[in-house]
Structure 1
Amino acid sequence: MTENRPRGNRIDDLFELLSDSHRRATIHLLARRERPIGVEQLAERIASQTWDDPSHEDVRRMHISLQHTHLPKLDDADVVECDFDAQRVEFTNWRPIEEGWQEARSWFERLDESSQHRSETP
């Protein structure tokens, strides 16, 4: 998530990043690993969480979805590091998510203060 952006954009980025169940599953799986994982293996694991008995086609679709949509978004946010040539991905850090969440909390607190101030004004 890019620094020095207009207020609210990091919050929007965070909620967009976490809005998809496959991205949340990817973060969860990768954060628990100490080493990189192959994109195909990741696709198999997420497909197994998504469908009771995923077919080869389900895993293929998941791989394509990860490769072209979910992993680039997570990589752009600096949550994961992808080596698309080697077809490997690894978790990098929670900081972008934590910073976005902290900004969201601050925004909600300011909103509460503003609402309280308006209700107290005669």
Structure 2
Amino acid sequence: MKVFTEQLNDSMNRTELSQDQVFELLKNMRRRYAVHYLRRENRAVDFSDVTDHVAAWEYNTSPTDLLSKQRKRVYISLYQTHIPALADAGIIDYNPETGKIRPTNRIRVFDDYLNVFTKPTLPWDRYYLGLALGSGLLFVSIWIRFYPVAMLSWYVVILGVMAAYGMVAAIHYWYTQSTIPETPPELHATDG
């Protein structure tokens, strides 16, 4: 029975989350705060770091100024409910023995729902399209022996195009990570 349950969880983790599942996962503020922290860090972190940041945001203080009672209250609910729910959905990998939590790529499903990015997003699709069109034009120019492009070797052109795509992808990744604010956007929401 245990093997069947593990296989069922594994298959659930590989499928896309429905909108209802996303809303169910995001209905609790502590879970949203945990998702925000993990999305912002985008690396393996200690359970205690998640607890400290979620509690600090909840109690509107800094992690160093938290009272042990506040930290404990948040720790218990994260440990018993929220972190296991995120792990069961495949949003994070959680090792209870080491206390390490690592977000998976599936955590990005929440970006649109949580308004993660506060800076205006750049039109990356146009950058990639321009790079593809420019690469195609460069290849055609070499093929028809258009001077002065025909002086370049295929090897140099292919390496240059690959380097250009790599640089744009790296800049895109850096920009995306740098647009995630330090605190959850809902802490900055105003009613007016």
The residue that corresponds to 1:39 in the other structure is 47
The residue that corresponds to 2:24 in the other structure is 16
Query: What stretches of structure 2 of length at least 5 have no aligned partner?
Result: 1-8, 114-192
Give the ranges of 4+ consecutive aligned residues of structure 1 lying more than 4 Å apart after TM superposition.
none
User: SS of 1:85's equivalent?
Assistant: coil
Q: Distance in 1 between matches of 2:60 and 2:36?
A: 19
The residue that corresponds to 2:172 in the other structure is none
- Structure 1 30/95 Cα, relative in aligned 2: closer, same or farther at 3 Å? closer
User: SS of 1:86's equivalent?
Assistant: coil
1:93 aligns with 2:67: no
TM-score normalised by L of structure 2 = 0.44
Paired residues of 1:75 and 1:82 also in contact (CA < 8 A)? yes
Q: Tell me how far 1:94 sits from its aligned partner.
A: 3.2
Q: Taking every aligned residue pair, what percent have the same amino acid on both sides?
A: 25
Amino acid at match of 1:77: A
Amino acid at match of 1:89: I
Q: Distance in 1 between matches of 2:38 and 2:85?
A: 15
Return the match for 1:62 from 63, 74, 86.
74
Q: Distance in 2 between matches of 1:29 and 1:80?
A: 12
TM-score normalised by L of structure 1 = 0.67
Equivalenced residue count is: 95
Q: Tell me how far 1:95 sits from its aligned partner.
A: 6.3
Query: What stretches of structure 1 of length at least 5 have no aligned partner?
Result: 102-122
Paired residues of 1:43 and 1:66 also in contact (CA < 8 A)? yes
Q: Distance in 1 between matches of 2:42 and 2:18?
A: 27
Q: Whose Rg is larger?
A: 2
- Trace 1:97-116 onto structure 2 (pairs within 5 A): 97=109
Higher relative contact order (CA 8 A, sep 6+): 1
Q: Tell me how far 1:69 sits from its aligned partner.
A: 0.4
CA deviations over 1:63-109 (Å, ceiling 9, x no partner):
111111000111111111101111111111236836xx8xxxxxxxx
